[in-house]
Chains A and B, each alone.
Chain A
Amino acid sequence: MLEYFVDLLKISLPILYLFAIFLYGLAFFLDEQFGIRNRTRFLIVTLAVHLVYLLSRSLLTGHPPTTSVFEIMSVVAFTIGVAYVYIEMMTKVKETGMFILTLALLFQVVSSAFVKAEVKISPFLKSSLLGLHVGSAMLGYSALAIAAVYGGLYLMMYHEIRSNKFGIIYRKLPDLKTLENLSYVSIILGFIFLSIVILVGYVWLPKTVDDFSYSDPKLIITDIVWGIYFVALLSRRLMRWTGRTVVIVSMIGFFLTIASMVVVNVFLPSFHNFK
């Protein structure tokens, strides 16, 4: 019974995210009152359903949904949604929802398509530090993903103004400074969480994993990503990088993060593969 329920939610979630994006799109492109009135409300309902899905999945499998890359993708989709609602409430900027949620939808679609009902869990995944390590990773990835989307929106707006188009992007998106700030704050949060991930990982993994290696591809790429963000943040401080440079760095950092998360898990041998 519970299995059917979890499957039903798994299939429903991409549809719910799609409909939330549709409502944000209605408001963005057509100024439809239906979309304007219901977009945030519907997103909150979607996130509530997503939370029920994650909890019932945990109940079904007997472990938190953080033991496979596809389970993690669903958690990332959820945290992107929650982070977005928080940002929307803080800044009152609602026009970026369609773009941020598209990212959440992508993660959820991949997760729903490939996640398996049962996975064998490695004993090291039962460690008490797992929650901190994986939880920080989820929040970090989500924040960096959001930073990248705001970065992308910044570049769209930048080109819209430079090319004298003044179309819907110009009218609807927040100003460049706001987009830059949203991207920057998301980078800082992402960087903090990524630091916790790495710190906990280096303390915990050598003691827990027999074949631990500092030359593991995933560790190296994560360190590189962390390094890029560190240099970027330091440069902003020391060299007063602003605007386009910051958002380009945030986007490069995010694509490398995705590489760490997906490519390494799928294509390279690693002790760090949840099996």
Chain B
Amino acid sequence: MANLKALRIRINSVRSTRKITSAMKMVAAAKLRRAQETAEAARPYAERMSRMMGSLAKALEGRADAPALLAGTGKDDVHLVVIVTSDRGLCGSFNVGVARAARLKIAELRAAGKEVKILCVGRKGRDMLRRDYGKSVIDTVTGVEKGLGFNTAADIATTISDLYAAGEFDVCWVVYNRFKSVMSQVVTWQQLIPFSFEDTDESAADDLGGAVYIFEPDETEILEYLLPQNMGVQIFRSLLESQASEHAARMTAMDSATRNAGDMMDRLNTLYNRTRQAAITTEITEIVSGAEAL
């Protein structure tokens, strides 16, 4: 029976799809664990860095000669948006969420008469935004997730600093998925340039009991080194968060895909058995009625 054969083929194909999705789920789970470990290991540096930034901010409060990375260019005509996505798909709404947030922001900025430039990290983001904003995409960085180290982030930071130094943009934003839990990742915006001290830890400076730091060589010079370094750290953190989110999103997506495939197999199996039974019944009826006719 052709119908039976078609069903059998269908069941087999669903079964192998389920195998693939469940394997992908397990791989994503393993990668997620590693990504979380990396993120954990990167935390001490970021903490100390933000403590130092806090102390410096306190020392520099209200000074006019702050470096450009901190003070901005004094304009906000051109915005650079750094969009952090993954290179590969099959991870639920992970990339779509970032792309949607980016679209909204870009539309908002354009409505306000600003010029927008885009730097994509990850292939998916570029693919999604290329059609609408192809001309605005100035660069794409791919292959980030392979052996993600601080160097990757430092390279991106250098690219951004160079563009900034060349006067290509005035304000820089980064958008990425922040890892909240395995079930939920939050699309987050962060302003990189001009750098805001909002989220640095200023309480550290209070521990000193009123004592003041000695700065060597001096505050501005240290800040000039510290700011690009800090930008690298911020980018590194967003890459790590994004990576952990990607694996979490993929894990969740593949988990539901596996379950879905299982349900579908059950339904198809029932249908298959019923069709087979119907075929057998028909055959028996034919034989019996054939015998009776004799």
Real binding pair: no
User: B residues near A, CB below 8 A?
Assistant: none
User: A residues near B, CB below 8 A?
Assistant: none
